[in-house]
């Protein structure tokens, strides 16, 4: 990042001015506010530290002397030391009318970013302030990017297929809203590719050059939620041996993907709502407010409207995250995508394990299309990886797919067309019941029939709700 030379401070640029003389504080306030800065003034080191504990500042302009007839600069040096220790990275620019080489060197040794003599020259003061803020922002951005890279999901373009009509419609809708900052809520079963679609929204947005950060809300222990989302300061709790940035801070300027948001405990939801609404939060163990600019993409396999009715999910939080709501279709509704995805995952796995890529036999293709894929795209990917590991033949038939323990084993010879109509109906019923254990309504929906019709067909074939292909 280059250091800007124009007088155009970035948004939310707050500067803390510390001086015991009111006329000096007022002069600096007028100068800085004219240039677009927000100024907070403090008359003593104690006031300055209180301000720093309660808010976020881009820089500190600090006088070195506060006690009358004192020119040693010790009070200012102590302030520099405390700011450097408690808020590392915040540039402190030391100011004094009693400039000396020794005092400047000592201030810089204790953590000051620069040194300005009083009376100051406006152009020099503004130039130093702007360059130090820009340099600090650059360093923070690099640190955030480094930390965020460890949290990134695998490349979204890897294995993305949208040849089926439902997926084409979904991708077109996401493409239209991606350029906005509108929150996006992705609904769908586990394994349907919601994470990949969230990454595509980020890639197509104006934030594509910034971070994409994921937080699996469903996998978080309630006690770790605040620390993961907002970060913590050293000593905030027993194991907090050093400061840590949370996901909101890491994704500043970019996109935060909240996966399985339907599992967020009710007592934690107000904290998330405030951060989304106001862009403000405090690290655990700190009262200092931080501000971020984050786009929210959330995903869940829960029925959030039903969760709201049951009192388990806040309605105002739902309104905040579902400005654009999209349902990601399960793989069984994307039949045109099954074979392209299978070939892709098989080729990727064979390349990874150094195996020759087999050709899919027509019987294998029929078995892949007939299987209900209750685990969706994730299950298909794992199935193809298993084939690459265990099979070593130029052609891959249905019996080599490793689906025998599931619905495909019920296909005589692996071929659906070899069944009678009666057999096919029984096979489809068993598949649906297995895919949705204990949920007859979903099984009926998959089959395209009513629940009452499903009961009649189950009775006809002598099936119970826990029946599945043997």
70 pLDDT tier (thresholds 50, 70, 90): low
Tally of CB atoms within 10 A around 65? 20
Note whether 298 and 185 are within 8 A (CB): yes
Please report which helix (H) or strand (E) contains residue 380, including its range.
helix 376-390
Strands (E), 332-424: 359-360, 395-396
Average pLDDT over residues 274-298: 89
Confidence of residue 17 (pLDDT cuts 50, 70, 90): very high
* Tokens found for residue 238: 């027993």
Confidence check: pLDDT of 468 > 50: no
The yes or no reply on domain 14-141 and CATH 3.40.50.2300 is: yes
Q: Rounded distance, CA 286 to CA 280, Å? A: 13
- Summarize the chain as % helix, strand, coil (round to 5): 50, 15, 35
SS3 315: helix
User: For 331-413, CATH number?
Assistant: 1.10.8.60
Q: Which two tokens stand for residue 347?
A: 């080729």
Token digits for 315?
A: 């309605």
CA angle 226, 89, 19 (to 5 degrees): 110
Element (H, E) at 370: helix 362-370
Residues contacting 100, CB < 8 A, separation 6+: none
- What pLDDT is stored for residue 410 in this prediction? 43
Which residue has better confidence, 456 or 7? Answer: 456
- The 10s digit of each residue's pLDDT in 216-274 is 887 777 778 888 898 887 766 666 667 788 899 899 999 999 999 998 889 889 999 99
**Predicted confidence (pLDDT) per residue in 314-353, tens digit:** 999 999 999 999 999 999 999 999 999 999 999 999 998 8
Quick one: pLDDT band at residue 9, thresholds 50, 70, 90?
Answer: very low
Which region among 8-17, 276-285, 431-440 has the lowest average model confidence (pLDDT)?
8-17
For 180-222, what is each residue's pLDDT tens digit? 899 999 999 988 999 989 999 998 999 988 899 999 887 777 7
Please state the rounded mean pLDDT for residues 433-451.
Answer: 80
Model confidence at 11: pLDDT above 50: no
Instruction: Give the mean pLDDT of 68-92.
Output: 83
| DSSP string for residues in 170-195 | HHHHHHHHTTS---EEEE--TTSSHH
pLDDT in tens, 149-183: 434 434 344 557 888 889 989 988 998 899 889 99
pLDDT above 60 for 8: no
- The band of 299, judged by pLDDT with boundaries at 50, 70 and 90, is very high
Sorting pLDDT into bands at 50, 70 and 90, what band is 141?
low
Q: CA 260, CA 454: separation in Å to the nearest integer?
A: 31
Count other Cβ atoms within 10 Å, centred on residue 342.
23
pLDDT at 155: 39
CB proximity list for 412: less than 8 A, separation 6 or greater: 418, 419, 423
Q: Are strands 244-245 and 231-232 parallel, antiparallel or unpaired?
A: antiparallel
Cα distance between residue 184 and residue 194, in whole Å: 11
Cα 87 from Cα 111, distance rounded (Å) = 11
Domains 14-141 and 165-329 share a fold: yes
Residue range 165-329 in CATH 3.20.20.150: no
Rounded Cα distance, 28 and 24, in Å: 6
- Count of residues in the chain: 470
Residue 282 tokens, joined: 């405090």
Give, rounded to a whole angstrom, the gap between the first and last alpha carbons of the chain.
62
Task: Name the average pLDDT for the chain.
Answer: 82
- pLDDT tens digits, 108-139: 888 888 888 888 999 989 988 988 888 877 77
Domain 419-470 classification at class level: mainly alpha
pLDDT-above-70 percentage for the chain? 84
Domain ranges (residues) in the chain: 14-141, 165-329, 331-413, 419-470
Q: Do residues 328 and 187 touch, judged by C-beta distance below 8 A?
A: yes
Global confidence as pTM: 0.58
């Amino acid at each position: 990042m280059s250091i800007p030379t124009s007088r155009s401070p970035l948004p939310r640029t707050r500067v803390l001015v510390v001086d015991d003389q009111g006329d000096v504080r007022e002069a600096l306030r007028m100068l800085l506010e004219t240039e677009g800065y927000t100024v907070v003034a403090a008359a003593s080191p104690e006031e300055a530290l209180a301000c720093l504990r309660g808010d976020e500042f881009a820089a500190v302009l600090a006088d070195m002397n506060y006690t009358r007839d004192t020119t040693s600069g010790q009070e200012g040096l102590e302030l520099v030391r405390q700011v450097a220790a408690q808020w590392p990275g915040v540039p402190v620019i030391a100011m004094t009318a009693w400039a000396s080489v020794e005092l400047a060197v000592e201030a810089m040794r204790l953590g000051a970013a620069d040194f300005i003599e009083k009376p100051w020259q406006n152009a020099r003061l503004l130039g130093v302030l702007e360059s130090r803020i820009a340099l600090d922002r650059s360093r923070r951005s690099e640190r955030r990017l480094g930390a965020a890279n460890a949290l990134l999901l695998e490349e979204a373009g890897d294995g993305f297929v949208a040849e089926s009509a439902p997926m084409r419609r979904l991708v077109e809708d996401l493409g239209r809203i991606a350029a906005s900052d509108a929150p996006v809520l992705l609904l769908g079963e586990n394994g349907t590719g919601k994470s990949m679609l969230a990454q595509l929204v980020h890639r197509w947005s104006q934030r594509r050059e910034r971070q994409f950060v994921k937080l699996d809300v469903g996998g978080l222990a309630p006690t770790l939620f605040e620390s993961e989302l907002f970060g913590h300061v050293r000593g905030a709790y027993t194991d907090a041996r050093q400061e840590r940035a949370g996901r909101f801070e890491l994704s500043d300027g970019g996109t935060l993907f909240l996966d399985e948001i339907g599992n967020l405990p009710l007592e934690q939801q107000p904290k998330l709502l405030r951060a989304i609404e106001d862009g403000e939060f405090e690290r655990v163990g700190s009262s200092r407010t931080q501000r971020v600019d984050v786009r929210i993409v959330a995903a869940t396999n829960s029925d959030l409207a039903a969760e709201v009715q049951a009192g388990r999910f806040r309605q105002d939080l739902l309104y905040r995250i579902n400005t654009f709501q999209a349902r990601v279709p399960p793989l069984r509704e994307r039949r045109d995508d099954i074979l392209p995805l299978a070939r892709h995952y098989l080729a990727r796995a064979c390349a990874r394990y150094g195996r020759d890529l087999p050709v899919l036999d027509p019987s294998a293709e029929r078995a892949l299309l007939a299987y209900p894929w209750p685990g969706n795209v994730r299950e298909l990917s794992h199935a193809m990886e298993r084939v690459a590991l265990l099979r070593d033949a130029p052609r891959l038939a249905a019996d080599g797919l490793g689906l025998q323990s599931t619905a495909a084993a019920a296909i005589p010879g692996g071929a659906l067309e070899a069944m009678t109509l009666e057999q096919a109906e029984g096979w489809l019923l068993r598949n649906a019941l297995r895919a949705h254990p204990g949920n007859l309504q979903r099984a009926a929906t998959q089959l395209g029939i009513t629940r009452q019709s499903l009961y009649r067909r189950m009775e006809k074939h002598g099936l119970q709700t826990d029946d599945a292909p043997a």
